[in-house]
Amino acid sequence: MTTDTDKRAAAIAAVAEIQPGMLVGLGTGSTAAYAVAALAERVRAGLRITAVVTSKATETLAQSHGITVLPFDDVPQVDLTIDGVDQIDPALRAIKGGGGAMLREKIVAAASTRMIAIVDGSKRVAQLDRAIPVEILPFARAFVLRRLAELGGPAILRATRSDQDNLLADAAFGPIADPAALAAELSAIPGLLGHGLFLDEIDATCIADDSSTVWLKRS
C-alpha cells in the first residue's frame, strides 16, 4: 500500500469508533483530512454528531463536507478526538505540529475523554528524534530561540505563522532520551506558547502498514 492508502485505512478504522451523539475533535494535517472525509461519509449516511476543530484548515474542510462545527471556546469537554502525528513511539508518546497546529491540537486533546492517533507505518519509531515544532510569541522571539539553543535544540523559524498569528519554529534536539524532562523544560520557557511533544494525550493509536491495521492502546 502507499502511504496515502495507509493514512486512509487508519482514518477509516478510527472513525468507526465514533458513536451517534458524540462531540468529536478533528485534528489537522493530511491524515486527519482522511478522517474528516471518512466521518463526512458516515454523516451523509445518517450519523448525527457535532465536531470541534484544531485549525482553520480543518474547519474549512469539515464545513465543506457538511459537518456541524461548534466553536471550541464554548466547549468544555470533547468525547473523542482523532488526529495524526509526525512520530510516535511504543509508549504512545508523539511529536506533532508538522502543520503548525500543535497548540490548538493539544488543548483539544486535553479536553478529550479519548484521543486516537492515526498513523501510517512510516511514523512509528523506537525513539522520538524529529525536530520539535514550537509556537513562539513574536515579542519573545530572540529570547526563546536563545533558550532553545541553550537546551540543546537550535531552532529554525518557519516562514509561516500559526492560526493565532504567532511564530513557528522547529527545534532540533536529536534523539530524545527523556521526553518528559524535555517537555517540562520547554513548557517552562516564558513566551514559548506550545510545543509538539504529546506524551500523555494519546489513548490509542491505529497504525496502518502495508495492508494491515494494528491498534496499540495505552496500558
Ligand X SMILES: O=C[C@H](O)[C@H](O)[C@H](O)COP(=O)(O)O
By CB under 6 A, residue 99 contacts ligand X? yes
Among 17, 41, 59, 105, the one annotated catalytic: 105
C-alpha to C-alpha distance for 6 and 31, rounded to whole angstroms: 9
Range 24-63, binding ligand X (CB under 6 A): 27-32
Q: Is 41 a catalytic residue?
A: no
**Position 98 contacts ligand X (CB under 6 A):** yes
Q: Note whether 166 binds ligand X by CB under 6 A.
A: no
The identity of residue 93, as a single letter, is R
81 is in an annotated binding site: no
- Residue 173 — φ and ψ, nearest 5°? -95, -5
Task: List the one residue out of 122, 88, 100 whose CA is nearest residue 201.
Answer: 88
Q: What is the rounded distance in angstroms from the CA atom of residue 116 to the CA atom of residue 134? A: 22
Q: 64: number of CA atoms within 13 Å, CB side?
A: 9
Give the Cβ contact number of residue 96 at 10 Å: 30
Segment contacting ligand X (CB under 6 A): 23-31, 136-144, 165-173, 178-186?
23-31
In terms of CB distance, is 97 or 179 closer to ligand X? Answer: 97
Question: Under the rule (CB under 6 A), what is the footprint of ligand X?
Answer: 27-32, 83-86, 96-102, 105
Instruction: Please state the residue numbers annotated as binding site for substrate.
Output: 28-31, 83-86, 96-99, 123
Give the residue numbers marked as catalytic.
105
